[in-house]
Amino acid sequence: MKVIQLFFPGPMGGAEKVLLSGVKALQESGFETEIWVIQEHRVPYCADDFLTEANELGLKTKAYTCYSVFDRKLKKGLTKKLLSEKPDIVHAHGFKAALYGHLCTPSMARLIITHHGITSHTLKVKIYEAIEKWTMKKAYKVIAVSEMMRIDLERRGVPVSKIRVVENLLSMAVIPREIPRNVPLSLVYVGRLSLEKGVHTLLTALSKLPKLLPFKLVVVGDGREKDKLILQAKELGIEGSVEFVGFQRDVKKFLIQADALVIPSLREGLPMTLIEACCMGLPVVGSRVGGIPLLVEDKVNGILFKSEDADDLKRCLAELDNDKNQYLQTAAKMSSTFLKRYSPDKWAENTLEVYKSCLSQE
């Protein structure tokens, strides 16, 4: 079985980490696959960073350059190269790779698309996501990274028979952490700073907390909303309790020091940071969207709230502070179960099952 992974990397985030760790796990299981990395000419550092890490892991890669929104020369080159390589499966990750995978995959090969979720944070991305929806209907199989995403794909018209669920994996080494003794309440947010991530709702909720409930929020990430969020924190009078540290390669040190991870998203797939938090025994305060409720059991290892509802989020944060030790202890006890569920080996096993099922069907 010959499989080509097709990928347009962005800044090193969830999808990038999953693919690197997943392909490494496939390699260690004895299954060789090659990653074809498309480097966007306007942001070459994204592919450079991804390729650097791939090479450090000993993964097989090829690099191609995309010079425009739709590069006909790239399409022609990929089509020719795939015809000569004769893969059994082309596995595309993300909406841009899905488009080129659909257009370039030879008829004798089968196209699989892994759908990592919808952000719609710019008009350009909305257009790409609409195209991805069309390509998923044409693909041989579509991999959803959570059960909630599978349901969403069905609602969007992707045939049930095409969809398989392979949950994301834990891409970093985790060791049991000590329960912190933080005063004030120490919170962390990790992710892109764009509107659909809901950080504006989090800041509003924090500003509503009683003065007798001191807190510290560390915001890890970057994005087009960053300046607006910094201004919002200042206008709400909480700028002294909120620290914006920008994009960080190593988020583990921020998770280790916190009392809870907050995920205030308006929509989500299965966030990598959520998996990391659950595996290291960190309570999560998250919105009831996407795959978050699949990992966060309300009032057990975290608290769930209605997305975009600052008052509900404020209530959850106050409850967390009141019963913080209980949440920390319960989350720590549950971490071993999550470590088994989201191991790279499990991801590799489930992905190989999808590959085999594709080739066993007429």
Q: What is the tens place of the pLDDT at every residue in 322-354? A: 999 999 999 999 999 999 999 999 999 999 999
Q: Is residue 119 part of a domain?
A: yes
118 and 236 in a single domain? The answer is no
| Same domain? 26 vs 122 | yes
Q: Dump the DSSP string for 307-339.
A: TT-HHHHHHHHHHHHHTHHHHHHHHHHHHHHHH
Check pLDDT > 60 for residue 362: no
140 shares its domain with 272:
no
The pTM (predicted TM-score) of the whole model is 0.84
Same domain, 152 and 227: no
Number of structural domains (the chain) is 2
Report d(CA 361, CA 32) in Å as an integer. 22
Residue 67 reports pLDDT greater than 90: yes
Q: pLDDT tens digit string along 83-112?
A: 999 999 999 998 889 999 999 999 999 999
Residues 285-306 have pLDDT tens digits of 999 998 899 999 999 999 999 9
Same domain assignment for residues 327 and 228: yes
What gap in Å lies between CA 112 and CA 6, rounded to an integer?
10
164 shares its domain with 269:
no
Structure tokens that stand for 166 in this block? 């392979």
CATH number of the structural domain spanning residue 118: 3.40.50.2000
Q: Is residue 176 part of a domain?
A: no
Would you say residue 178 lies in a domain? no
Q: Are strands 302-305 and 284-287 parallel, antiparallel or unpaired?
A: parallel
* DSSP β-bridge partners for residue 189: 219
Whether 126 is covered by a domain: the verdict is: yes
Mark whether 209 and 321 lie in a shared domain.
yes
332 belongs to a structural domain: yes
Q: What is the mean pLDDT of the chain?
A: 92
157 Rama class: left (phi>0) / alpha (psi -120 to 50) / beta = left
Are residues 9 and 93 part of one domain? yes
Question: pLDDT of 132-183, one tens digit each?
Answer: 889 999 999 999 988 888 998 999 899 999 999 999 998 877 766 677 777 7
What range defines the domain where residue 311 resides?
185-341
Q: Residue 38 in contact with residue 97, Cβ under 8 Å? A: yes
Q: 95 and 236 share a domain?
A: no
Give domain status of residue 202, yes or no: yes
